[in-house]
């Protein structure tokens, strides 16, 4: 498909109908809570290890699957991040939600030991999926993956680990300033998406790897 760069500003959180609602289970605002309904297959890619492809057509904006895993604290995420590399794989997703008063709510989800099929979905700088925070019966968000474009049967699924097309930096710093983090192992993990807009390396949340005094 033609590569589109998704720059939609800050992604708005979604709230689905829940147990407090009087609507039926057929309510159109009950989607993510119903779980996976698309036929997906884990397969061995040529150069990226395991990947996931769809066994049926997926319409644009259709829910695909949830990125499930352990919800861990910031302290635990920093501890686990130290052991990540291109060999071990990268499974920690950091969701940052900006609130009033410049407050940032961080949610850390690690699918390395406990997860679902989404843990095998590879990164791409030009993805066919996008991730959105969805809440159902809890303030804790669920990370839902939706189709960014129409996806044909047999296509590999991928999403941008940095978010909806955002350039990855050190929590707001410029690309020039990112050089001071080049000694971090995970920073040197190459991106293998081979897209025209490839950013060379996999994105990462620098705050998990740096001392608090660096910010």
CB 85 within 8 A of CB 186: yes
As a whole number of angstroms, the distance between CA 182 and CA 177 comes to 10
Whole-number Å distance between alpha carbons of 107 and 143 = 10
Active-site residue (options: 10, 67, 74, 166): 67
Respond yes or no: is residue 10 known to be catalytic: no
Bridge partners (DSSP) listed for residue 19: none
d(CA 48, CA 40): 18
Q: Which helix (H) or strand (E) holds 93?
A: strand 92-98
The question of whether 201 is a catalytic residue gets the answer no
CA distance 192 to 201: 8
Indicate the SS3 state at residue 162: coil
Q: Which of 74, 91, 161, 168 is catalytic?
A: 161
Active site residues: 67, 161
């Amino acid at each position: 498909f033609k590569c589109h760069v998704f720059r939609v500003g800050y992604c708005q959180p979604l709230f689905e109908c829940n147990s407090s609602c009087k609507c039926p289970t057929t309510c159109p605002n009950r989607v993510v809570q119903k779980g996976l309904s698309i036929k997906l297959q884990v397969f061995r890619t040529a150069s990226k290890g395991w990947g996931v492809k769809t066994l049926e057509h997926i319409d644009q904006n259709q829910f695909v699957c949830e990125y499930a895993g352990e919800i861990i604290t910031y302290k635990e995420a920093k501890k686990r991040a130290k052991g990540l590399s291109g060999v071990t794989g990268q499974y920690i997703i950091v969701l940052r939600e900006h609130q009033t008063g410049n407050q940032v709510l961080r949610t850390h989800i690690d699918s390395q030991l406990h997860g679902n099929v989404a843990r095998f979905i590879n990164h791409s700088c030009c993805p066919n999926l996008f991730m959105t925070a969805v809440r159902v019966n809890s303030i804790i968000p669920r990370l839902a993956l939706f189709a960014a474009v129409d996806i044909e049967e047999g296509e590999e699924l991928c999403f941008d680990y940095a978010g909806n097309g955002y350039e990855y930096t050190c929590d707001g710093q410029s690309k020039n300033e990112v050089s001071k983090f080049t000694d971090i192992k995970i920073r040197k993990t190459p991106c293998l998406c081979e897209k025209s807009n490839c950013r060379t390396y996999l994105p990462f949340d620098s705050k998990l790897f740096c001392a608090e005094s660096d910010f």
